[in-house]
Amino acid sequence: MGGENVLKTLEANKRSDFFLELLMIVLAIGMVIPIYYLLITTFKSSSEATLHPLGLPAHWKFSGYADAWKAMNYPRVFMNNLLITVSSVLGVLLCASLAAYSFARHQTRLNNFLFYFFIIGVTVPFQVSIIPLFRLIRDLGLIDNPASVIFVNVFTLISFNIFLIKNFMTTVPIELEESASIDGCGVVGTFFRITLPLLLPVIATVAILNTLTTWNDFFTPLLFLQSREKGVILLEVYRNIGKFSVDWTAFFPMMVLGIAPLLLFYMFMQRYIISGIAAGALKG
């Protein structure tokens, strides 16, 4: 009887695994179809895309990417995107790591109050502060200046990053910093020479997540960057949409050009996300 029960259990597990795998395959196909449609449409003419939306193109058309490159002025908007993203991520990492170091290593009432004050910022939607933020940027004379977007990105992303880095920093042995202090190393030197290298897993994870967020940001550049010379990739994609209709065979290559750098970056850096999360789980 015991053997029969075991066989029945194994058969039931096999059936459940089969249906689970089938469900996963269906979900995967559902996720791949929009990507396939996006990519395959970039090589079609407008009429062919309308008549055969999911079919392979009869004549592969590569001119859509050249036209999109010219229409977007891609090198200019790419460099604008790169400048804003790199500056924002570096600013967030520097400010958040220094603040997290103070909160983790100096447990005073004032620091605890300031830490929870920053954490409250995570719960406040960015849209709530649009009008006062716009007035502040205008009074600072930063409208239509990439510095305005960088400034806003740093101070909207810093709260959550402080939370992540501070929690990871509590797992770093404080005895290492005490030894450096005994050897005559100051607070700043201890942070940059001892603590910061030990934070590389969480720093890499935070940097990647902030890069994805900043690169894909559309609303903040739309709000503060008013000239096309200062625009970013998503703004150019938006500005090339027709007022009453959209030529998808011209629009989709722009989307691919906008996504491609981020996709390559993520494919290269995804192992750092996994290692950072794994390191945090093991040390936690």
Per-residue model confidence as pLDDT tens for the chain (284 residues)? 555 666 666 666 677 777 888 889 999 888 889 888 888 888 888 888 778 888 888 888 888 888 889 888 899 999 999 999 999 999 999 999 998 888 888 888 888 888 888 888 778 777 788 888 889 899 988 899 999 999 999 988 888 888 888 888 888 888 877 787 787 777 788 888 888 888 888 888 888 889 988 998 888 999 899 888 888 998 888 887 766 667 778 888 888 888 888 888 877 777 766 665 555 444 44
pLDDT tens digits, 55-81: 888 888 888 888 889 888 899 999 999
CATH value at residue 75: 1.10.3720.10
Distance CA 177, CA 143 (A): 43
* Containing structural domain, residue 16: 2-41
Q: Say if residue 143 is in the same domain as residue 257.
A: yes
Q: Say if residue 73 is in the same domain as residue 213.
A: yes
| Predicted TM-score (pTM) of this structure | 0.81
Q: Following DSSP, what letter does each residue of 35-94 receive, concatenated?
A: HHHHHHHTTS-HHHHHH-SSSPPSS---HHHHHHHHHHTHHHHHHHHHHHHHHHHHHHHH
Tally of domains within the chain: 2
Q: Say if residue 121 is in the same domain as residue 245.
A: yes
